[in-house]
Amino acid sequence: MRIIRGKDYQEVSRITARLIAAQVLLKPESVLGLATGGSPVGTYANLVEAYRRGELDFSRVRTVNLDEYVGLGPEHPQSYAYYMRRNLFDHVNLDPGSTFLPDGLAQDAGEACARYDRLLESLGGQDLQLLGLGGNGHIGFNEPGDAFLLPTHRVALTESTISANARFFESREEVPRWAYTMGIRGILAARRIVMVATGIAKAQAVYDVFFGPVTPQVPGSILQLHPDVTLVGDPEALSLTPAENR
Ligand code: F6R
């Protein structure tokens, strides 16, 4: 595992965008695994700027997102499909037919999850998977206590995740209680993993994920077993890691 320190959110975002840009430059037909939430917003903004400067071409890139809320369709402003269009897809030359998220409105949850796993397999896995980190150690919406190697599945969000995500909704009551998430199995299939973590609220989770025991109680800790993980963090998020990283 590599740790790269940026001095603040802006620098972390620039560094993370550069890692993704390098991936796309080296392999224009890359499969990018993407995340939502607050952490990658700045990364996407930097990618959009690089595209506008003519430095990046997304025309052959395909994307697969980690998760989607159950019950929210792509036009719902809090759906992850909407988030992706607003923050990235609408601003670069990605082919809309090459961007994939779990279907929040699927009638048959089991079939929707199996379909997403077949899709991941048909794409050949992600060349690079971007991750945020939940304050409780979740990656995607693989919450503490889930068995490690699940495929895509429907998950009940924990109270702490519902509280953390309430900031994106008008009230806590509006936060969906369920989500579809790529499983740990799908995340680990990525050839490279890049995680963004900033702010003091992530410090304990960063420590537990990368320096604690590997346990399903801390879902991200399985990343210790992956051969190519880069964590890009700010000084606050890295504040509990061994001194040489801070
Ligand atoms: C989002 C996702 C989640 C978030 C995590 C951190 O697609 O999969 O794991 O990355 O909840 O969220 P933020 O970045 O909002 O702190």
Ligand 1 in contact with 66 (CB < 6 A)? yes
> Tokens in use for 245?
């990283």
- Count of C-beta atoms within a 10 Å radius of residue 156: 13
Q: Are residues 56 and 105 in the same domain?
A: yes
Which residue, by CA, sits nearest to atom 10 of ligand 1?
A: 132
Specify whether the backbone of 115 is left (phi greater than 0), alpha (psi in -120 to 50) or beta: alpha
Looking only at the bridges linking them, the beta strands covering 178-181 and 62-65 are unpaired
- Per the annotation, the verdict on 136 as an active-site residue is yes
Pocket-testing residue among 12, 87, 133, 182, ligand 1, by greatest number of atoms within 8 A of Cβ: 133
Q: Are residues 126 and 158 in the same domain?
A: no
Range of the domain at 166: 134-178+206-228
Q: Are residues 39 and 61 in the same domain?
A: yes
Q: Are residues 103 and 41 in the same domain?
A: yes
121-132: string of b/e by CB count within 10 Å (b at 16+)? eebeebbbbbbb
Q: How far is the CA of 132 from the centre of ligand 1 (A)?
A: 5
Ligand 1 in contact with 67 (CB < 6 A)? yes
The rounded distance, in Å, linking the Cα atoms of 206 and 198 is 10
pLDDT at 124: 96
Ligand 1 in contact with 134 (CB < 6 A)? yes
Cα 177 to Cα 67, 79, 87, 101, 159, distances in angstroms: 13, 13, 24, 18, 9
pLDDT at 146: 66
Q: Are residues 61 and 151 in the same domain?
A: no
List of residues 6+ apart from 99 with CB closer than 8 A? 62, 63, 65, 84, 89
pLDDT at 149: 85
17 within domain boundaries: no
With CA atoms as reference, report the closest residue to 185 among 224, 211, 156, 222. 222
- Per the annotation, the verdict on 143 as an active-site residue is yes
In the chain, the number of structural domains is 2
Q: Are residues 46 and 31 in the same domain?
A: yes
**Stretches in the chain below the pLDDT threshold 50:** none
Ligand 1 in contact with 38 (CB < 6 A)? yes
